[in-house]
């Protein structure tokens, strides 16, 4: 739940927990939404951010970030990858009776997503990684060794293009429409060179800026989708990923995770 801002856990019930999300706040009144969430996700999204120190062409911790992402992607799900003798990618999953199912990885991945079998789904997690260039990961066409490590590890690896970042900066930070002005103001207020004033970071974000961003992404879904290139699996599109997530979201997880 680290990706959500302006929220908190209000009740821990063991296998599930209740989170409250602040929708709006004016003076002493506000509205919030309460959701019951499972501790076992059906998908995770991880963004690997790498900074570049002054005077350097590339972030020194790039390979460390790649190893961190690879460890998470290859350890959280019951579906595991193995390199076959012919160079292909195989997938295997252990059943409750100890037996092993093994076949082509992406065929098995598709079968699990389409299945309603609790035994296949109970420990399965779809892993999605997101990287961008910024002088660290090269490009979607020119993969360095770190990119190859991540592409082999995640079920899906997405590349946020420079054009996508430029559009975000242009439409939200430089010349936003009036309804998105709060995001620009929060950003400007955060990066003044003075400490303790951040309102637009990966850790916290002002409520009005958060609302503006969610509105922007919701209104511009198709345009935002074009910001990303699919690194792996190279034969699929972002539309397929959206469909897979929709299928997983529709399953009866309360029965699968009793």
| pLDDT tens digits, one per residue of 36-50 | 888 889 999 988 765
**226 against 51, higher pLDDT:** 226
258 CB neighbour count, 10 Å cutoff: 8
Q: What are phi and psi of 103, to 5 degrees?
A: -165, -170
Angle at 123 between CA 41 and CA 94, to 5 degrees: 160
Q: What are phi and psi of 119, to 5 degrees?
A: -65, -35
pTM exceeds 0.85 for this model: no
Mean pLDDT of 200-226: 87
Q: Note whether 119 and 95 are within 8 A (CB).
A: yes
CA pair distance 107, 164, nearest whole angstrom: 31
32 CB neighbour count, 10 Å cutoff: 15
**58 against 117, higher pLDDT:** 117
Q: What are phi and psi of 120, to 5 degrees?
A: -80, -35
Mean pLDDT of 223-228: 93
Residue-range domain boundaries for the chain: 1-39, 40-82+115-256
24 pairs with which residues across the strands? 31
**Exposure string over 90-118, b if 16+ CB within 10 A, otherwise e:** bbebeeeeeeeeeeebeebbeebbeeeee
Render pLDDT for 63-98 as a digit per residue (tens, 0 to 9): 677 777 778 888 889 998 888 888 888 999 998 888
Nearby residues of 23 by Cβ (< 8 Å), 6 or more positions away: 30, 31, 32, 33
**Percentage, residues of the chain above pLDDT 90:** 37
Question: Is 226 a residue whose pLDDT tops 70?
Answer: yes
Spatial CA neighbour of 5 closest among 224, 172, 209:
209
Spatial CA neighbour of 151 closest among 225, 55, 70:
70
User: Residue 83 class from Cβ within 10 Å (0-12 exposed, 13-18 middle, 19+ buried)?
Assistant: exposed
Question: Is 117 a residue whose pLDDT tops 90?
Answer: yes
Most confident of the following: 93-102, 136-145, 175-184 = 175-184
Taking phi over 0 as left and psi of -120 to 50 as alpha, with beta for the rest, 138 belongs to left
């Amino acid at each position: 739940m680290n990706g959500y801002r302006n929220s908190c856990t209000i009740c821990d019930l063991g296998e599930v927990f209740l989170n409250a999300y602040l929708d709006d706040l004016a003076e002493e009144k506000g509205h919030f939404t309460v959701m019951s969430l499972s501790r076992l996700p059906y998908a995770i999204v991880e963004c690997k951010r790498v900074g570049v120190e002054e005077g350097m062409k590339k972030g020194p911790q790039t390979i460390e970030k790649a190893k961190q992402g690879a460890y998470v992607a290859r350890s959280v799900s019951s579906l595991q990858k193995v390199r076959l003798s012919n160079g292909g990618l195989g997938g295997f999953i252990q059943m409750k009776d100890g037996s092993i199912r093994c076949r082509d990885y992406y065929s098995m991945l598709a079968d699990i997503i389409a299945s309603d079998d609790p035994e296949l789904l109970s420990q399965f997690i779809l892993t999605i990684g997101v990287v961008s260039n910024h002088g660290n990961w090269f490009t979607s066409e020119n993969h360095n060794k770190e990119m190859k490590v991540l592409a082999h590890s995640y079920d899906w690896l997405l590349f946020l293009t420079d054009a996508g970042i430029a559009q975000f900066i242009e439409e939200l930070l430089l010349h936003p429409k009036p309804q998105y002005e709060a995001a620009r103001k929060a950003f400007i207020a955060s990066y003044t060179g003075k400490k303790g004033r951040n309102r637009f970071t990966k850790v916290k974000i002002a409520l009005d800026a958060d609302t503006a961003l969610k509105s922007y992404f919701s209104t511009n879904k198709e345009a935002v989708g074009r910001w990303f290139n699919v690194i792996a699996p190279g034969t699929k599109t972002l539309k397929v990923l959206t469909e897979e997530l929709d299928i997983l979201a529709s399953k009866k997880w309360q029965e699968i995770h009793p």
